[in-house]
């Protein structure tokens, strides 16, 4: 088995002693012609296991690309390369790396990541078994090169890309993928919320040597013109997923102050039994409280001014949102106006007040429900006033 590496050749030392070439971890894949995509080189491993089959899917519909594509009658740039049939597990079979690991099976994917990490394959299998590591691979993305995420392995970096209602082009998204993989992104989240989501994703998947994550609810909401609201209970979901041999990696909140990072990681590890944790980008680049405050108040000019490189920061911002009103807009081009979580959080605070205030409102609502449940009576016979488990019959 061979794994990709980048070999960096070095000049001899001044005294003529040769310096050996250095081999480093490589994420960029073999390179592809964007219109054709990469070779599905992992397909034989998937087919040899004989636990998946071709899925008679409902077929692609124009509405999968959003309302603009329906109006136009076509996505803006059709995918004309290889169109693999979607696969899924055969009835009664589970096809996750965690499932194989828990049964003691060492897959080629595990051997591949062990070679990449230069560690024993048994360490990979054990960490995946325990849920402390994940090998994010989908049977419908056979172009991707296996990699592992977990505390025993090299730190991995994710890149977020995606179109939005503000800026949108399939070729731009594919170019972003290529640049991200070239400069060392280990995984990529496609957070598209704008037009042509389905077709954009097809282009990205067919050209990506690294695992792709998505937020399916964005696509669902784009179809129905909805709004975002994530109330997932991550600790409970982690346990339920593991019961079904589903690998879990927990995404932490973004936009959290730097001094709360440690607490955030420790609480997640405790609640989620060591499942790998993924913390979001602004953590590493936040400079101080003034910048955090400017960001939460959508003072874009101050964010540029407080940044490490104000000129470049503003240039990047203005590439997509050059107009003056955008300097105070309550969103940027990354998530767009409908999905700006900063804006949504502020709206919630404006409507319901601080977290303490929201807890007080919830408490009053609970008491109100209790009051209605006993018939809206103020004066009740004594047993009804007691806790249910202490009331005498
Ligand atoms: S749209 Fe809002 S939440 Fe998204 S990156 Fe911009 S400011 Fe942050």
- What pLDDT, in 10s, does the model give residues 122-176? 999 999 999 999 999 999 999 999 999 999 999 999 998 988 777 778 888 999 9
Place of tokens 């690998």: 247
Nearest ligand 1 atom to alpha carbon 343: 2
Q: Specify the pLDDT at position 286.
A: 47
Q: Which atom of ligand 1 is nearest to the CA of 336?
A: 1
Q: 390 falls in which pLDDT band (50, 70, 90)?
A: very low
Q: CB of 251 within 8 A of CB of 280?
A: yes
Third-level CATH fold of 27-299: TIM Barrel (3.20.20)
pLDDT band, residue 386 (cuts 50/70/90): low
Q: Across the chain, what does the average pLDDT equal?
A: 86
Question: How many beta carbons lie within 10 A of that of residue 201, not counting itself?
Answer: 21
Ligand 1 pocket test, candidate residues 294, 319, 332, 344, most atoms within 8 A of CB: 332
The three state secondary structure string of 306-368 is: HCCCHHHHHHHHHHHCCCHHHHCCCCCCCCHHHHCHHHHHHHHHHHHCCHHHHHHHHHHHHHH
What atom in ligand 1 is closest to the CA of residue 255? 8
Statement: residue 252 has pLDDT above 90: no
| pLDDT at residue number 351 | 86
Cα 340 to ligand 1 centroid, rounded to whole Å: 5
> What pLDDT sits at residue 63?
84
Q: Which residues line ligand 1 (CB under 6 A)?
A: 331-332, 334-335, 340-343
Q: Are strands 212-214 and 187-190 parallel, antiparallel or unpaired?
A: parallel
Pocket test for ligand 1, best of 164, 342, 343, 347 (most atoms within 8 A of CB): 342
Is pLDDT above 80 for 349? yes
Q: What is the pLDDT of residue 185?
A: 95
pLDDT at residue 360 tops 90: no
- Tell the residue nearest (CA) to atom 7 of ligand 1: 331
Assess contact for 124 and 113: CB atoms under 8 A: yes
pLDDT confidence of residue 341: 84
pTM of the model: 0.74
| Residue 387 pLDDT grade (very low, low, confident, very high; cuts 50, 70, 90) | low
Most confident of 243-247, 277-281, 301-305, 359-363: 243-247
Q: Please report which confidence band the pLDDT of residue 78 belongs to, taking 50, 70 and 90 as the band edges.
A: confident
Averaged pLDDT for residues 22-29: 93
Res. 105: pLDDT tops 70: yes
pLDDT at residue 370 above 80?
yes
Task: Choose the most confident range, by mean pLDDT, from 61-65, 74-78, 127-131, 359-363.
Answer: 127-131
Q: Using the predicted structure, report yes or no on whether residue 389 has a pLDDT greater than 60.
A: no
Nearest atom of ligand 1 to the alpha carbon of 339: 1
Residue 229: pLDDT over 60:
no
């Amino acid at each position: 088995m061979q794994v990709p590496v980048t070999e960096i050749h070095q000049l001899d030392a001044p005294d003529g002693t040769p310096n050996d070439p250095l081999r480093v971890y490589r994420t960029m894949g073999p390179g592809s012609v964007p219109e054709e995509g990469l070779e599905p080189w992992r397909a034989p491993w998937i087919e040899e296991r004989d636990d998946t089959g071709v899925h008679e899917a409902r077929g692609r519909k124009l509405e999968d690309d959003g309302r603009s594509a329906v109006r136009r009658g076509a996505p803006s740039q059709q995918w004309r390369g290889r169109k693999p049939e979607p696969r899924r597990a055969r009835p009664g079979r589970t096809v996750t790396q965690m499932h194989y690991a828990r049964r003691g099976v060492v897959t080629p994917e595990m051997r591949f990541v062990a070679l990449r990490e230069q560690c024993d394959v048994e360490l990979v299998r054990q960490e995946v078994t325990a849920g402390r590591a994940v090998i994010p691979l989908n049977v419908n993305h056979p172009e991707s090169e296996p990699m592992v995420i977990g505390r025993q392995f090299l730190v991995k970096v994710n890149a977020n890309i995606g179109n939005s209602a503000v800026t949108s082009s399939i070729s731009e998204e594919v170019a972003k993928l290529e640049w991200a993989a070239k400069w060392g992104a280990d995984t990529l989240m496609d957070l598209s919320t704008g037009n042509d989501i389905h077709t954009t994703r097809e282009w990205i998947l067919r050209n990506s040597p690294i695992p792709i994550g998505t937020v399916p609810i964005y696509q669902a909401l784009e179809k129905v013109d909805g709004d975002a609201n994530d109330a997932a209970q991550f600790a409970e979901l982690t346990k339920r997923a593991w019961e079904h041999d589903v690998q879990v990696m927990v995404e932490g909140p973004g936009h959290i102050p730097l001094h709360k990072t440690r607490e955030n990681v420790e609480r997640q590890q405790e609640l989620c039994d060591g499942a790998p944790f993924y913390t979001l980008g602004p953590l590493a680049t936040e400079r101080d409280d003034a910048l955090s405050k400017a960001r939460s108040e959508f003072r874009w000019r101050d964010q540029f001014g407080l940044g490490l490189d104000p000129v470049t920061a503003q240039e990047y911002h203005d590439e997509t949102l050059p107009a003056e009103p955008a300097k105070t807009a309550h969103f940027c081009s990354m998530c767009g106006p409908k999905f700006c979580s900063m804006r949504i959080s502020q709206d919630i605070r404006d409507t319901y007040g601080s977290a303490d205030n929201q807890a007080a409102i919830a408490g009053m609502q609970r008491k109100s429900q209790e009051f209605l449940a006993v018939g809206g009576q103020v004066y009740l016979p004594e047993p009804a006033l007691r806790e249910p488990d202490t009331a005498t019959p």
